[in-house]
Structure 1
Amino acid sequence: MDEPDTTAILPEEEEMSTDASSGRKAESGDRNPGRPPFACPRFVSVEPVLFLSMFSLVLQVPLCTQYLWDRIGEDIGYNGTKQGGGCGNTSADVDPLQKEVETSTAHWNLYINLGGFAVGLLTVTFLGSWSDVAGRRPVLIIPCLGLAIQAAVYLLVMYLKLPVAYFLIGRVLSGLSGDFNTVLAGCFAYVADTSDRSSRTFKVAVLEACLGLAGMLASIIGGQWRRAQGYINPFWLVLATNVAAALYAYLFVVESVPSDPSAKLLTTRHHKAVFRLYSTGGETSEGGKIFQRYKLWLYTLCFFLVVTVHLGSRELFVLYELSTPLCWGPALIGYGSAAQHLTYLTSLLGLKVMQRCLADSWVALVGLASNIAGLAVISVATTTELMFTGYGLSFLFMTATPVIRSNLSKLVGPSEQGALFATVSCVEGLCSLVASGLFNSLYPATLHFMKGFPFLFAAILLLIPAGIIGILECQDRRTDNRESTTS
């Protein structure tokens, strides 16, 4: 029972008789139609899909925020510069027009994201659970195409200088296809299909590191490119990378579960599977015990809080850096975002090292402490040096999410992985919705007394998952000690 789902197709464990063009055993071909035209490179599976999708997302988000800032500023007649001149580290009152631009940009970010996330929250529930019977490949291809359509709509808005409200159309179309959250769900479910319990945490962390590497490269490229050529040319790269991700998934990714081409997408079966999982609790093979369902709920709450803080603070970094007193330009914004995403790689390295002497839960607590320290410093950052110090202190902040994802996966049986990751995808969509609404509303509301208050608030929120994870780990240790004593 410690092995992954026996129905999963593990490319790395195929025998020599495996059909090389399909990457799967010949006898499973009838059960798993839709073979990729080419075999996936060895030791690589869905990582390129996640890398390309994340690259396009990180390239797009700051460009979109800066476009909104400039476009709204142009509409209301704000001519303040972001480097010296009208923006500096002074104690004078902030230009009322700048405050209006900040507030309007934050609100439009909120409206655009609410539109996409609200639709995506419904779609990802169907797509995530549907992949358990229809296969993982479709839920990798469909959302990538939706993200490409969104980029095309954004390009149209920029070329024709349409009102920024038209960005909503692109976000809603992307939400209907499942949005980036479905790409995440498909990739992490794929890893759960093709890994055993002992290696799962690190393999999940590798996917998280792909997110960081893609984000770091996109941040550097986007900042420099935006300064040199404006918004439109970088957005063509956003469109191209999403199309490339969909093509890679179609051409190279080997299906990891037996797929049923007749599986229905719009059915209540997907919701019932999630309900059964969280109402009865998942089964684990460790000693034949049944884990109490409250652990599923508590780990899901931890995941919700950690991801909400991550997404919410990330949305505000560009706004915080653009305005007084930091007054960063496109290049510094790119370097700052690169520093933030570099922590994905340092977190992967830290997780690998700490796993040698610490249990996964204690590794997660170290990561949360790193994140809290970084956010606390950023909340009071008034200089470039202090801002980068905050990024530096967060160098282990991404060790928490792979541990939580892995722990959730280990709490359920092999046949429940699809329902679990459908739920995690839904929660991640809810995180985006709550983060966008909460932090984009909190930022303008607290400008008058503490500009960095949302980051301080985020640091305080992280104390909750830290306490939950610590308590659950202590309970597990006591239970194990008691059982070893009685035996």
Structure 2
Amino acid sequence: MESTPLLENKDKEDKSKLGNLLKANVVFIVFHLAINIRNPLLTQYLYKRYYDEEFDNSTTFDKTRNQTSKCYVNESDPGYMLQERVQDLTSNCQTILTAIGYSGAVISCMFLGAYSDFLGRRFLFVVPLIGEVLKFWLLTIVIYWNLDLRYLYIGEVFEGITGGYNGVILASYAYTADNTPPKNSRTLGIAVIDFSAYLAAAVSSVVTGFFIKDLGYLYPSITTASLMLLSLILVVVLLPETIDSERRSQYPSPVKAVKNVFGFYFSKGFGPRRKLFWLSLASYFILYFSQRGVNYIEYLFQLNLPFCWGPELIGYFNMAFSLSRQFLGIPVIKLLHLCTSDPGICIITSVIQAGAYVLHGFANTDLMLFMFLVPNGIAAPLLPALRAIMSRTAPAEMQGSLFAGIGLVNIISEGTGITVFNEMYDATVKMLRGFVFFVCAGCQLLAGVIIVVFLCVSRSVDDTDASTVVVVNEEDRKPDPIISQDKPTTEPTT
């Protein structure tokens, strides 16, 4: 017998839990403050360490000469050649760090996401945050004692075991999906996660530049490690659990957990809906692969010819980058929702994003590089809208499993993207520095084409946005049943 009217329950389901979302966004902002101080800090610290080592060890470079420019411009100058080698060493070190951290996170994030549907979202936040705290403090120790850079590999092992950055992002999306109905408000809620990151990046970017210039690398590293510890404390103190205690009392075996993660793409119970998952996943992979791949190239691109930027100007650019996406992204979503659906938003913004990367690739002045920020900010809703499409297509009871799969794509696509684009940049930096951005632009267009196909296929699938529950049992021999969310549902058996 129902203790509350069905209509009242439905009204509650159709409303976002703004209190929970607000608390979660406080955690997101603190977490992203830490991330957005550390990322440029690490790249510039690696660059400086290799720069000092190469120039100090060089027997051909005249160390007594007065070098007044920020970087060498004469290709026959020994300093120019050493500068090119420093770029290669920095890029290679980042590739190794990424490979170590992400190879372990592939497994950990899959199980974290699947089990969070039963053990709770706080569990999903706490485990990866512990790994991030250990990793961030290890960087501080390396900087303080000027240790061998290979000690940083240990921090990446911590991140891999616990899920690290991708585990926290997975938790963020799953928690937001728990607290929003499967409507346009979910698109906005998921977008706010990304825009919270942009706000944190804007606040931290200039601070990091001045920190590095005036105080070196140690104090920014202490600051970012302390912020990461604070985000862990806030999760424990602030965030309420969104998974009820009855579900937390039972959870599936590891085999069933894996089947829940991959069931969206392989279970016959989803019927024609599987095509939608495959198409959206393919588009998401291409977008994330390319965008994250060029993200780390950005710093090397700015540090060297023809820009030769220092930490302050890099900080100003990162602030402008984040603010443009923060202030343009949400209005663009609201505006486009008046005339089109989420797939339409993805198609429009993918074309705009491609144009932005073409402009970036041709940039040879500071003004052109800053001009890139306007179309890039307008295209900010691209990934949030795609995540919302996938979230609405999945059952409400399996959001953790869905985002575990997306987390795997994040890890694999970012890991391969950073590696591929780093190698591509190394191979083309002397020929055409902006080549990687042209490739990235092509990837945006390809993803947009896939979304067009998604839109066509979705019209042949009845009630695409309806929420369903798929029960995946290890013993099943027949296709898994699809049960409407409006009817009583059965939890997965253990």
Instruction: Tell me which interval the TM-score lies in, with the shorter structure as reference length.
Output: 0.7 to 0.9
1:210 maps to what in 2?
196
Name the structure 2 match of 1:59. Answer: 37
1:68–1:311: structure 2 CA closer, same or farther, 3 Å change rule? same
Q: How does 1:355-370 map to 2 (within 5 A)?
A: 355-370=337-352
The aligned runs of 1:240-251 (5 Å cut-off) are: 240-251=226-237
Distance 1:357 1:281, change over 3 A: farther
* Contact kept? 1:339, 1:392, Cα under 8 Å: no
Counterpart of 1:389 in structure 2 is 371
Deviation at 1:242, TM superposition (A): 0.9
Q: 1:276 aligns with which of 247, 263, 266?
A: 263
Change (3 A) 1:477 1:126: closer
Q: CA RMSD in A?
A: 2.8
Q: How does 1:2-401 map to 2 (within 5 A)?
A: 41=19, 44-77=22-55, 85=69, 87=71, 95-198=80-183, 199-259=185-245, 267-280=254-267, 291-345=272-326, 346-401=328-383
Answer yes or no: is the 8 Å Cα contact 2:207–2:315 preserved in 1: yes
- Normalising by the residue count of structure 1, what TM-score does the alignment of the two structures yield? 0.85
CA contact (8 A) 1:226 1:330 kept: yes
User: Residue 236 of structure 1 aligns to which amino acid in structure 2?
Assistant: I
Q: Quick one: structure 1 residues 89 and 399, their matched pair in 2 at CA, closer, same or farther if it must change by over 3 Å?
A: farther
* 1:404-438 Cα distance to aligned partner (Å, 9 max, x none): 11111121222222221111111111122111211
User: Deviation of residue 280 (structure 1)?
Assistant: 2.2
1:13 CA displacement: 7.9
Unaligned runs of 5+ in 2: 1-5, 464-494
SS in 2 for 1:398: coil
Give the Cα separation in 1 of the matches to 2:355 and 2:425: 20
Partners of 2:86 and 2:335 in 1: how far apart? Answer: 45
Deviations 1:61-101 (A, max 9, x none): 111011111101111116999x9626266787781101100
**Paired residues of 2:15 and 2:181 also in contact (CA < 8 A):** no
TM-score, with length taken from structure 2: 0.84
SS in 2 for 1:219: helix
Q: Which runs of 5+ in 1 are unaligned?
A: 15-39, 284-289, 482-487
Contact kept, 8 Å, 1:88 with 1:325, in 2: the verdict is no
Q: Which runs of 4+ in 1 moved over 6 A?
A: 9-14, 78-81, 88-94, 478-481
User: SS of the counterpart of 2:254?
Assistant: coil
AA partner of residue 234 (structure 1): P
CA deviations 1:142-198 (Å, max 9, x no partner) are 212211111110011111111111111111112211111111111111111121122
| Secondary structure at 2:380 match in 1 | helix
Between the two proteins, what is the percent identity of the paired residues? 25
1:462 paired to 2:444:
yes
Aligned AA (1:371): Q
Gap change, CA 1:385 and 1:92, over 3 Å in 2? farther
Give the secondary-structure state (helix, strand or coil) at the position aligned to 1:379.
helix
How far apart, in 2, do the equivalents of 1:70 and 1:364 lie?
A: 39
Deviation at 1:291, TM superposition (A): 4.3
Deviation at 1:262, TM superposition (A): 5.9
Secondary structure at 1:327 match in 2: coil
Per mean C-alpha deviation after superposition, the further-off stretch among 180-189 and 269-278 is: 269-278
Instruction: Give the corresponding residue for 2:480.
Output: none
| Residues 128-137 or 366-375, more deviating | 366-375
Letter in 1 for 2:266: S
